Amino acid sequence: MGNSLKDLKNTYRRRDILLPTIERHVLKQAQEPSDRRSDILHPSEMAKSSWCGRHDFYRMTGVTQNYKGRAPSFRLENIFDYGHSIHSKYQRWLTELGIMWGKWVCKSCKSEWTGESSSGCPECGSTRIRYKEVSLEHPELMIAGHSDGVVDLGGKNYMIEIKTVGLGTLRFEAYQLFDQYQSENLSLDELWFHIKRPFATHIRQGQIYLHIAQTAYPELNIDEIIFIYEWKPTQEVKEFVVKYNPDLISKILETAAEVAKSIREGTTPTRPDWADVEGKTCKSCEYRNTCWGENNDSAESTTSKPALRVRRSSAEKRRRTLRS
């Protein structure tokens, strides 16, 4: 009996034969040059409460980073890819409904076109077509991005944004709710029930998209955005509709205008009011030394400079020096 149990355990012993190969493949791809544009402002970054226009100015003008950001990990790449797969699922369903508008590409002849849902490629007739979202660009403010889609519901056009939500999302976007989950031992179902509106970052991102759509696609008359939230733990879904309100992003657009003007005139934009050389955001910025090492204007000349870092020599090196 004992040997039989041992033999049974040996049949499912963890050995990690396949996963290491997958991880190496994913991480190798993650280290390849990204096709993400570096010459524009990204709405997803602009919507964050910690967005710094000066940081993006340095990125867009090719300033050398003081240090590289966090190295890619299999877990993070897996999270990103999961989000992409959720987007594709909803876009496929909406395409099948025939209510999608946006950019399309033919997998057969590589043709691209913009318009309503279609059953086939207008060039070669192939049904192997793929939705490529909605391109949004504001040349004057140097902002560009992609919305998850535009749908026609009863003759009215809505922009859509699809978001996957998990505990990690709450930790960054709704920390009070995440803290309540930890301190009060809320169940995952109870936590999902307490999400009754889109998160502030998502609202600002959607408002930026709507602002650009007003000028990029005036014929569509889009003034509302639909957020679809899918709860990772249980795949429950919620929908929120938000109307365009330019007041919510007026400060963000002012900063974008300052960054665009600085790039065109060869000047450096000011730091945000909340910037602090010893603050969490500034300390983790790739351009910290460049930014805080400058004295561009009188307002910054009184700003304290970071303390010099002194590294002590090893004990062996000090002994050698004393002997000599």
Same domain, 121 and 160: no
Same domain, 200 and 223: yes
Confidence of residue 14 (pLDDT cuts 50, 70, 90): low
Asked if residue 29 belongs to a domain, the reply is no
Residue 29's pLDDT is 80
Given a cut of 90, whether residue 21 has pLDDT beyond it is no
Given a cut of 90, whether residue 252 has pLDDT beyond it is yes
Confidence of residue 205 (pLDDT cuts 50, 70, 90): very high
Span 22-49, pLDDT tens digits: 888 888 887 777 777 889 999 999 999 9
Same domain, 162 and 253: yes
Residue where a domain stops, chosen among 267, 282, 315 = 267
Residue 152's pLDDT is 96
Same domain, 149 and 127: no
Residue where a domain stops, chosen among 82, 110, 132 = 132
Residue 158's pLDDT is 98
Rounded mean pLDDT, 244-271? 96
Asked if residue 78 belongs to a domain, the reply is no
Same domain, 168 and 255: yes
Same domain, 159 and 239: yes
Give the number of other Cβ atoms within 10 Å of residue 160's Cβ: 24
Asked if residue 255 belongs to a domain, the reply is yes
Higher per-residue pLDDT: 79 or 260: 260
38 φψ region: left (φ > 0), alpha (ψ -120 to 50), beta (else): alpha
Secondary structure E strands in 117-220:
129-131, 134-138, 143-147, 149-153, 156-165
Confidence of residue 312 (pLDDT cuts 50, 70, 90): very low
Same domain, 254 and 148: yes
Span 113-134, pLDDT tens digits: 998 887 789 889 898 888 988 9
Same domain, 150 and 243: yes
Asked if residue 113 belongs to a domain, the reply is yes
Higher per-residue pLDDT: 61 or 320: 61
Same domain, 163 and 249: yes
Asked if residue 87 belongs to a domain, the reply is no
Same domain, 152 and 250: yes
Asked if residue 290 belongs to a domain, the reply is no
Span 186-196, pLDDT tens digits: 899 999 999 99
Residue 27's pLDDT is 81
User: Whole domain around residue 157: which residue ranges?
Assistant: 144-267
Confidence of residue 318 (pLDDT cuts 50, 70, 90): very low
User: Hey, what are 24's tokens?
Assistant: 């190496």
pTM of the model: 0.82
How confident is the prediction for the chain on average, in pLDDT? Answer: 85
Asked if residue 262 belongs to a domain, the reply is yes
Same domain, 221 and 262: yes
Q: Is 49 exposed, middle or buried (0-12, 13-18, 19+ CB in 10 A)?
A: exposed
**In this structure, are residues 104 and 112 in contact, taking their beta carbons and an 8 Å threshold?**
yes
Same domain, 150 and 256: yes
Given a cut of 60, whether residue 84 has pLDDT beyond it is yes
Q: What is the total count of domains within the chain? A: 2
Asked if residue 182 belongs to a domain, the reply is yes
